A and B are shown apart, each in its own frame.
Chain A
Amino acid sequence: MTNGAVDWAAIGRNSRFEEFRRRKRRFFIALVVVAVGGYAMLSLGAAFLPDLFRMPVAGALNIGMLFALVECALTLIVAVVYAGWSSRQFDHLAEEINREIFAQHARSGRQ
């Protein structure tokens, strides 16, 4: 199978593909903000707001410790949201675009 017959540039300019790609990027940027923000807050907080991190929450458990534990949970949440959301939102779009490409390929193959 050769793939020279497919007009990849045209698909790249296709409005549906554009929309698909834009949504994907927006979603990804949101995840990066959450993830990097959590990381930055934990390390900057420990360095510059040690008094805040020392404040007790329950018994010996303080805000800093709780935050570090929450960061572990946040990691899990980001990952699950990403996997679940992408699979629901993006996979069928990608599938449709793939079908289009195959159709185009079949057409050009017959010529």
Chain B
Amino acid sequence: MIPASAEMSRRIMFGGLLAMVSVTVVAVPTSVVAVPEPHRWLTFTLFAAIVGLSMMVTHLAAKRVKTPDDFYTAGRSISGMQNGWAIAGDYLSAASFLGVTGLISLWGFDGFMYSVGWLLAYLVVLLLIAEPCRNIGKYTLADILAYRNDPRTSRIIGALSVMIVSTIYLVAQMVAGGVLVKALVGINYEVSVIAVGLVMLAYVVLGGMVATTWVQIVKAVLLMGVSLIMVLLLWHEYGFFGDFFAEVAGNARVQNHVATILGHSASDMSPAALGQRFLEPGLLFENPLDQISLALALVFGIIGLPHILMRFFTVPTARAARTSVAWAMAIIGSFYVLTIFLGLGAAMKVGISTIIDHDAGGNMAAPLLAQALGGGAESMLGNFMLALVAAAAFSTIVAVVAALVLAVTSALAHDLYAGVWRQGKLDTKSQVRAARLTAIVFGVLAIFLGMAAKGQNVAHLVALAFALAASANCPCVLLTLFWRRCNTGGIVAGMVVGSVFAIGLVLVSPNMSYPLAIKAEAERVLLEAPGKLRRIEADLASENGDTVIEAKRARATLGKAVMQAKSDLARYRNDRTSIVGLEEPLFKWRNPALISLPLGFLAVILGSLVYHDPRALKIWDELYVRRHTGILAGRLERR
């Protein structure tokens, strides 16, 4: 059924590469898997129910928001368990739900390994920062820096960095969200972006951190619930655990797929051996250094992502901070166990060729599986399941965007306006008013940015946001908290060097568009199109119903590819170089963190050693004790 050609395997390889970049970060599907018209009301009813529920939470939250403490940290009233769900919610973005499931459906064991490999590393990072951040921090990342470094300088540089990182990440999320909602619901891109933006604005402006946290919790529960239901349905159909894996190994679709990937070396393997191979390592070949670089950016970027850092300021005690990490890991760990079954289930139930036809990176595996489990595209239940997945994805995007807008708001209103400009002499009421006003202005700006960036490839923005967070913010925060000699000179140097290298390396990396390569690819597509069309037409005449359905789908995909190739050729007709004037990437990796992160640390160390700052050294003793004991956390202002 699947043509065992080199072209096919190249396509899968390419999809895999794309997925590597997008996994856990953004999912930008290339085709629509929406609920068809007669069942469309299902989607809207579910969306309305979820938005209604979160609005109720926001309404209740809004009454409690009176002080900046309420607005930025939910009055430190979030329990460990609640915060754990919210952290898990931040981590389990739409993309990790869609991306990881897709990776496993395409690569079996390797897909799973690449997605959970650094789960434990991530845990260590959380353990490393959760307690100190809770003990030392107040509202923002810059608050931690300003604790012992020069307050004015560190607030300005910290707030700038937070704004840059969050805005870049926000644009990527807005674009990915717009595309995703468009694909899953079938409404147009601008409407999707405005819908995401307006719901987000309501949460942030009215409910601040209380609402942002609760929306994250609601979404995490929804996502886990949907995944669990799907896995239970899969177990019901294919059997539990051992039986399930046996079914995967014995599945003809999986066996054909593995034969395609392996090519010649598969010729003397039995079907059973091919199926088993899907559950073994080594199907996916990657540039390992680029992988390590990505893992570094993801693991250390978490420390530097302001909207994640803010989560630790919301709990009342160090104990609650630790409990929240334990809950988050429990939820994320079990989620990953579920994704194995979802991914392998999609490979069997939906079929890998269908998944790739919808999206080369496999991002549509989960929605397609949901629809198939409910009884297919024609059935009521199938479309209900699809609508449920769409609703989970929608609330996920809104929740992440809300957290990002809150992070930027705190940097602008708390660090720059209240801290630097008004020098901390603002009463609580004015502080909350300033925060709300900032959130409105920035939220509206975010909607416009999302619309302006329509059609952009956002993968490079995401690579950039994580690399910046890992290379600039993370060394400054970590060394301020853990190194006695760190000072103002160090964090200025670290922020500048980390940012310059992260941005610079991404600008000359394969993330940018290179007209020559795009034109060559477009010409190849156009050259190969007639031959492919002949094969598809032969399939269309087939007796086998499945083959005809596959062929129709392939024809639609080919048509799209040809259109894309033509528009690419027209768009880049007179171009030879990328926006920084390169014909091909100077730096071969997509992820710069492996280089920019050590440089960021080095800059903080050298800057601190060169600069003389008695205040930072004097306050170290106090920070050291308070970091360990949590005395007076969040209450005592340093002057």
Contact = CB atoms under 8 A, between A and B. Distances in A.
Interface string B563-578: 0000000000000000
B258 to A, nearest CB: 13
B580 interface: no
A39 B117 contact: yes
Interface string B311-339: 00000001100110110111011101100
Interface in A54-111: 54, 58-62, 64-65, 68-69, 71-76, 78-80, 82-84, 86-87, 91, 94, 97-98, 101-102
B120 A35 contact: yes
A90 to B, nearest CB: 8
A20 B625 CA distance: 11
Interface string A24-40: 10001001100110110
Contacts of B121: 35-36, 39
Interface string B526-542: 00000000000000000
Given A59-B246, A64-B109, A35 B622 contact: no
B624 A12 contact: yes
B322 A101 contact: no
B322 A83 contact: yes
A78 B629 CA distance: 22
Nearest to B639: A2
B280 A31 contact: no
Contact of A8 (B109, B241, B323, B621): B621
B276 A60 contact: yes
Given A12-B621, A42-B113, A50-B280, A72 B629 contact: no
Contacts of B123: 35, 75, 78-79
Contacts of A64: 109, 113, 279-281
Contacts of B1: none
B248 interface: yes
A92 to B, nearest CB: 11
A91 B318 contact: yes
Contacts of B632: 3
A98 B109 contact: no
B622 A82 contact: no
Nearest to B635: A1
SS class, residues of chain A in contact with chain B: helix
A88 to B, nearest CB: 10
A43 B120 CA distance: 12
Contact of A60 (B242, B288, B325, B629): B242
Given A12-B621, A79-B326, A83-B325, A68 B112 contact: yes
A60 B281 contact: no
B560 interface: no
A28 B118 contact: no
A98 B120 contact: no
B229 interface: no
Contacts of A87: 319, 322-323
Given A59-B245, A65-B245, A43 B113 contact: yes
A26 to B, nearest CB: 14
A65 B109 contact: yes
A97 to B, nearest CB: 5
B281 A72 contact: no
Contact of B124 (A12, A36, A43, A46): A36
B10 interface: no
A66 to B, nearest CB: 10
Contacts of B281: 45-47, 50, 53-54, 64
Given A38-B120, A72-B337, A82 B628 contact: no
A65 B279 contact: yes
A82 B127 contact: yes
Contacts of B328: 79
**Which of B112, B276, B322 has the most chain A CB within a 10 Å cutoff?**
B322
A53 B108 CA distance: 14
B249 interface: yes
B116 A68 contact: yes
Given A8-B624, A101-B631, A50 B282 contact: yes
B191 to A, nearest CB: 39
B376 interface: no
Given A8-B625, A12-B625, A98-B631, A62 B280 contact: yes
A63 to B, nearest CB: 10
Contacts of A11: 621, 625
Nearest to A31: B127
Contacts of A1: 636
B634 interface: no
A76 B113 CA distance: 17
B124 A59 contact: no
B223 interface: no
* Among all A-B residue pairs, the 10 with the closest Cβ atoms: A79-B329, A46-B281, A60-B245, A83-B326, A8-B622, A8-B621, A79-B326, A9-B621, A60-B249, A35-B120
Interface of A: 1-3, 6, 8-9, 11-12, 17, 20-21, 24, 28, 31-32, 35-36, 38-39, 42-43, 45-47, 50, 53-54, 58-62, 64-65, 68-69, 71-76, 78-80, 82-84, 86-87, 91, 94, 97-98, 101-102
20 contacts: A2-B639, A3-B638, A8-B624, A21-B628, A28-B128, A46-B281, A50-B281, A59-B245, A60-B248, A65-B245, A65-B279, A69-B337, A72-B116, A75-B329, A80-B326, A83-B323, A83-B325, A86-B322, A87-B319, A101-B631
